A = this chain, B = another copy of it.
């Protein structure tokens, strides 16, 4: 018996609720489970908590697996340790947290009427019933496996748990692997590819079925820039390619796709994860079509005595208003705390997520928050995106790097729907995308971004930071003041220049324009922007003119200069030559 009478309804009501000692059972002991269990025990130390997990390795930082595989994290126990170097095993939970953990134990079923779970020790085979007052489902997700021939050969791994990670690392450390194939160019696939190529020197091929890396997360142009960086670091990236079969007698030796055959000694399958909702479904709890457990904003399932969170649930997407699936160790931890509070009669809320992403790959960081342009359009917005490249510090500050950012906005409401950034290995991209991510749920507009009060000092930022520049550029585009062309379209026009009218006009100083201009004397015209007013009659009035500078600032100025003289069929190359180069187009 948890509540004395009825259900608590208000915050006040919750606080005054008299909670009696109870037994909470937590199914799953990796991220959300331990967080919920510990939080609850801190609030209600006299209650009893039992945590059940099918593995003997619990409470580890799963997101650290690629860094363990690479060797950055030397020992698996580090992923399982607290920041003060205590290993979070069953003994730790007992001694430090007064929480009982049943490892190597599978939950067979839940009887909601009796309020019991039937568990089975997978080593001894013994079955038991545990009665609960409240239950937490922290069953997480499972990696998807391609349903193709040969999928059960040795040497084919998913990145699902620490046991599997140790098997992968053992293979690498024993020198068994000269070539590896990663299937899926999502975050985990790319992190694993870097781990293998960079630190073990393995010839690594990433195969992605979509036409870009990080599909659905990062815009095609950002993805292509990131792909160039991976290729510069010897990762082989194959897009638009579908894996059809694995070959080998005992171990995998070859992968065939719809485009060819690739020899390999190891395969990492990183083709996404699916929520583990089966147990919930079997118990009659509400589960979505995709198999995710349905919860309210208190992280309660359709049974008020059962909570759930983390990789096995859906939560609202705060931008679309629809249910979203956001598997993330970070969300799991925060939701775990909310559950712990509510188990103790509190009234904590988890309202949803906008969706955030960041990855480090070699000397690059790449991040996003909210919706990509494609996703925004698919959701019905009349969306556009703008792209800006700019230094990450004051341009006069000696140590600095170029950043590339994209802002996705709704034309009608001018609401910001998403943001993306690519830069070096500093926290510069992290800092900008964090700030924009934080205000997405408040319905921030283009004007809010233009005036966003970022911290300013020359060693950290520019007086008009790239984020402000993004907002201002979007405003100029929305008002019809800045007519843009993106790097992809620019590349197409450049390739097709023989059969087209387009004029390519370089607005940079002659020093920068010279090499390209001399290489393509018929195709690449140079008029520095500060000479444009005097040389206006050199600009053709009857052809589309593509305006080019280093980052897009002077070409915008040139576009306005031309407009003033009635030349309006112009296109400002957003992100400028800095972006063209990063994107991999060699002029």
Contact = CB atoms under 8 A, between A and B. Distances in A.
Given A456-B63, A553-B83, A330 B463 contact: yes
Interface residues of A, number: 105
A348 interface: yes
A86 to B, nearest CB: 7
Interface in A69-127: 72-73, 78-79, 81-86, 92, 95-98
A378 interface: no
Contact of A435 (B428, B435, B551): B435
A318 to B, nearest CB: 9
A283 interface: no
Contacts of A332: 463
A468 B431 CA distance: 16
Given A330-B463, A360-B460, A463-B333, A396 B453 contact: no
Contacts of A427: 426-428, 430-431, 460
A439 B439 contact: yes
Interface string A430-456: 111111111101100001001111111
A261 to B, nearest CB: 34
Contact of A394 (B61, B334, B453, B472): B61
Q: What copy number does this chain have within its complex? A: 2
A460 B394 contact: no
Contacts of A463: 31, 61, 63, 329-330, 332-333
A43 B557 CA distance: 11
A406 interface: no
Interface centre among A365, A396, A437, A508 (most CB of B within 10 A): A396
Given A334-B464, A456-B330, A447 B63 contact: no
Contacts of A97: 557
Given A353-B453, A439-B442, A554-B84, A396 B61 contact: yes
Contacts of A331: 453
A474 to B, nearest CB: 13
A461 B96 contact: no
A19 interface: no
A67 interface: yes
A79 B442 contact: no
A18 interface: no
Which 6 A-B residue pairs are closest in the complex by CB-CB distance? A330-B456, A431-B431, A427-B427, A83-B395, A358-B455, A360-B459
20 contacts: A42-B557, A72-B397, A73-B398, A79-B396, A81-B396, A83-B390, A83-B553, A95-B530, A334-B468, A337-B450, A356-B453, A359-B457, A365-B459, A430-B455, A432-B434, A433-B455, A434-B434, A437-B454, A437-B455, A438-B439
Interface of A: 31, 35, 42-43, 45-46, 61, 63-64, 67, 72-73, 78-79, 81-86, 92, 95-98, 187, 328-334, 337-338, 348-351, 353-354, 356-360, 365, 367, 369, 390-391, 394-398, 426-428, 430-439, 441-442, 447, 450-461, 463-465, 468, 472, 481, 508-509, 529-530, 533, 549-551, 553-554, 557, 560-561, 563-564
